[in-house]
Amino acid sequence: MEHKYKVLMLIGAFVCTNPASASSFLQDTDYLKQLSAEVAKNAAENSANPESSTVSFLKNEVLQKTYRSFETGFSNMFDSADANNELTIEGADSSKPSFTLSTVRALGDGLSDGQFNFFQGSFMAKKNRDTVNLGIGRRFLSDDESWMYGVNAFYDYEIKYGHQRASIGGEMKNAAFEVTANKYVAISGWQKGLNGTQEHALGGYEIEIGGQVPYIPTARIFAKSWQWDGKKGADTKGKTYSLQLAAPVMPNMMLEAGRKDLDNAKDIDFVNVTYKFKLGEIDKVINDAPFISDEAFASTSMKAHLLDKVRRKNQIVVESGFSNSAGGV
């Protein structure tokens, strides 16, 4: 607990001494007058040890200011016109689902000369496997905006056991068709993992193609081929097939159901639920495409998809003994 207070005090001190933050922190003279009065009152009420009580009072005030700064910063991070925020429940049909909170945000000036830089970050909460993913990328629009191309790089970190991984990826999309490829590289060695067993993050690859279901612009079919390269055990290979559909009655909600076809293990069925949101505008409709269209395939600008989340495997696949866990999705 002592370390927590030290960290918060340091951050609070930074807020007070940083020129940009200090002006906003101290510019309210009414607040300073009120603070001075409260300090004097607190010292009078604790006349036996006024110095100690004043220090304690100011420490608590800095802590409260710091917490409020965190809350404001977190809200601003997600409440932005140039952000796509999602909460995904993976394995929604299982007894042990995982929850992922992610955001995709524009970097710099946003779209400029057909180029768009972005940041994608996420936190996945899963029993014993909480993972942080941080990535940057650049997307390009064709002259007529009908195609979008992109490249990206990510760093993944599993908090409890220290597994680390990096990836590079590429994507090509239009309104009716898309291709995504990711290459993963383990950057951590053997770690003491679950139940004290030795674990190693694995590298691998995945290639996925997707396409719109004819006459249903909010439905897409995906097929993915993937492989994780074993360290001491055999490689793990498989394919994943899924159908993604925006819920007709809840346009902000996306359902994806499918099957993982593993070469040397039992197939796994899965259901994922994703909710897109914007803080302060929870009811804002993000996906307003009609459920049924008169056209077999949509032919719209990809400009509205520049903030789409990169499709990738966020959980780090590890080898424990001679078995791999968290197989490709």
Note whether 269 and 129 are same-domain residues: yes
pLDDT score, position 66: 47
Structure token digits, residue 228: 């994780």
Domain count, the chain: 2
Higher pLDDT, 146 or 57: 146
Expressed in angstroms, the distance from the first to the final Cα of the chain is 39
d(CA 64, CA 100): 28
Handedness of CA 5, 134, 322, 99 (dihedral sign): positive
Is residue 160 within 8 A of residue 191, CB to CB? The reply is: no
Compute the distance between CA of residue 117 and CA of residue 307 in angstroms, rounded to an integer.
Answer: 10
| Digit-coded pLDDT (tens) for 3-18 | 444 444 444 444 444 4
* Mean pLDDT of the region 85-107: 89
Q: Are residues 63 and 94 in the same domain?
A: no
Is the distance from CB of 308 to CB of 84 less than 8 angstroms?
yes
- pLDDT of 171 > 70? The answer is yes
Question: Smallest Cα–Cα separation from 237: which of 261, 269, 266, 202?
Answer: 261
- What whole-number distance in Å separates Cα of residue 298 and Cα of residue 287? 14
Mean pLDDT, range 306-324, rounded to an integer: 89
Residue 155 and residue 251 share a domain: yes
Helix axes 2-17, 19-26, angle to 10 degrees: 90
Neighbour order of strands in the sheet with 198-201: 190-192, 198-201, 318-320, 323-325
Query: What confidence category does residue 281 fall into, taking pLDDT thresholds of 50, 70 and 90?
Result: very low
Question: Which of 50, 77, 104 is where one domain is finished?
Answer: 77
**Per-residue pLDDT for 283 more than 50?**
no
Nearest to 315 by CA among 226, 223, 210, 242: 226
Residues 227 and 167 in one domain: yes
pLDDT greater than 90 at residue 135: yes
Are both 11 and 153 inside the same structural domain?
no
pLDDT in the model for residue 298: 77
Q: The domain containing residue 50 runs over which residues?
A: 2-77
The pLDDT tens digits of the residues spanning 179-236 come to 999 999 999 999 998 888 999 999 999 999 999 999 999 899 999 999 999 999 899 9
For residue 213, give the 3-state DSSP assignment.
strand
- pLDDT number for residue 67: 46
Q: Residue 134's domain is classified under what CATH number?
A: 2.40.160.160
Same domain assignment for residues 72 and 169? no
Residues 27 and 95 in one domain: no
Same domain for 39 and 120, yes or no, is: no
Distance CA 49, CA 144 (A): 73
- The residue among 42, 62, 77 that closes a domain is 77
* Domain match, 298 and 320 both: yes
Indicate if the pLDDT at residue 73 is higher than 90.
Answer: no
The mean pLDDT value for 314-325 works out to: 81
Residue 239 shares a structural domain with residue 303 = yes
Which pLDDT value is given to residue 252? 85
Give mean pLDDT, residues 159-166.
96
Domain end (from 29, 44, 77): 77
Residue 202 dihedral angles phi and psi, to the nearest 5°: -115, 145
User: What pLDDT sits at residue 95?
Assistant: 74
pTM: 0.73
Average pLDDT of span 261-266: 86
Assess contact for 185 and 167: CB atoms under 8 A: yes
d(CA 76, CA 307): 17
